[in-house]
Amino acid sequence: MVKHVGKINGLSNETIYRSLGIGEFYNQYPRITKLDVINVISVLKHKLSYNNTTGITKVGNWEISRYSRMVDIQKYNSYDDLIRWEFSGLILNAVQRVHNGFSMI
């Protein structure tokens, strides 16, 4: 099981990129490159966290999401699952925002 608080800052950018599983993303947004995604990952990976006990996803000190029912909280066994199910939407949204000239979050 992933540690009590799932942080991905110890993983390489390439590992996080592969865990996103974003093949369809490139079909929808052909102008966005792998380098765009890697650049956003390098900034966000130090700020993203997920708490396996409370089900809270945070970016820095900002709470982004929380499970409303305790029975629904996901207990992730691998970083791949954690990245794909909790962080991929945040990362890909940040990539789109940067690509369109806005701030990441």
Domain ranges of the chain: 5-99
3-state secondary structure of 62: strand
User: What is d(CA 64, CA 89) in angstroms, rounded to the nearest whole number?
Assistant: 11
Q: Tell me if 64 sits within 8 A of 57, measured CB to CB.
A: yes
Per-residue pLDDT of 49-97, as tens digits, reads 999 888 999 999 999 999 999 999 988 888 888 898 899 889 989 998 9
Half-sphere exposure of 59 (CA within 13 A, CB side): 14
Q: Is the pLDDT of residue 3 over 90?
A: no
Region of residue 43 (left: phi > 0; alpha: psi -120 to 50; beta: else): alpha
Q: How does residue 19 score in pLDDT terms, banded at 50, 70 and 90?
A: confident
**Tell me, what's the pLDDT at 97?**
92
pLDDT average, residue stretch 18-40:
82
Which pLDDT belongs to residue 6?
Answer: 66
Q: What is the C-alpha separation between 32 and 27, in angstroms, rounded? A: 10
- Encode pLDDT of 41-54 as tens digits: 999 999 999 998 88
pLDDT for residue 94: 92
pTM for the complete prediction? 0.81
State how far Cα 75 lies from the chain centre.
16
Phi, psi angle pair for 66, to nearest 5°? -150, 140
